Amino acid sequence: MKVIETSIPDVLIIEPKVFGDERGFFLESFQAERYRTIGIDLPFVQDNHSRSRRGVLRGLHFQCKRPQGKLVSVTRGAVYDVVVDINPESPSCGKFVGVELSDQNHWQLWVPPGYAHGFCVISDTADFLYKCTDFYSPEDEGAILWNDTTLRIPWPIENPCLSMKDLSNPTFLEVLGSRE
C-alpha cells in the first residue's frame, strides 16, 4: 500500500494495492500489522455502512468525550470527503483536508480521533464504509455547520441535502469556544 501525507499531520490517504484483471479486482482493505507500521494501531470496535444519493452531505461530525478514529472508504460511487482539525491547541486547528474517495481509486482516509468529519456524494449513489475506534454515542456527538464561513470548505455542491440536525449545527468558532 502507498501512504499519502496530507496538509494536516496524522490525516493520511491510503492507497491499497489493487490486483485486477478482466474478472474484476481484489484488494486488502485492512491488515492490522501493516496499518500499525503507519501509525494506525488503535483497535477498531465498530464498522458502519451508509448509502446516500447524489447531493447528500453528512457532517461535519465528531465525538466530544470519546473521540472516534475512522478509517473510511467508498465501495460504490464517489464522495468528496473532508476532515477538519478542531483541536484548539493544534498548529493546524481550523485547517481541513478534502479528498475524493471512490470505487475507482479505492483510496481510504484515516481520520484520527478528535477531528471533525463529513462528506458529500458526487455520484448517483455512494456506499460509504467507516471502521471506528470507539463506539458511537449519540449524547456525545458534536457537529459543525457544513458551510461555515471561517473554514470555507469548497464543497462541490451548492444546495446539499442535509438532515434536520445538520441544518442547525453550530459554527466552527462556536465549537472552538466550547472546547477551550
Considering 35, 80, 115, 130, which one is annotated as catalytic? 130
Q: How far apart are CA 33 and CA 19, in angstroms?
A: 20
Active site residue 130: yes
Q: How many Å apart are CA 140 and CA 128, to the nearest integer?
A: 22
Cβ neighbours of residue 37 under 8 Å, at least 6 residues apart? none
Confidence of residue 14 (pLDDT cuts 50, 70, 90): very high
Map out the domains of the chain with their CATH numbers. 2-179 (2.60.120.10)
Q: Are 47 and 104 in contact (CB under 8 A)?
A: no
pLDDT over 90, % of the chain? 91
Going by C-alpha positions, the residue among 68, 57, 71 that lies closest to residue 109 is: 71
Annotated catalytic residue: which of 61, 80, 106, 115? 61
List pLDDT tens digits, range 45-97.
999 999 999 999 999 999 999 999 999 999 999 999 999 999 999 999 999 99
Report residue 27's pLDDT band, with 50, 70 and 90 as the boundaries: confident
Whole-model pTM: value is: 0.94
- The DSSP output letter for 157 is -
Between CA 63 and CA 85 the distance in angstroms is: 13
CB–CB of 160/55 below 8 Å?
A: yes
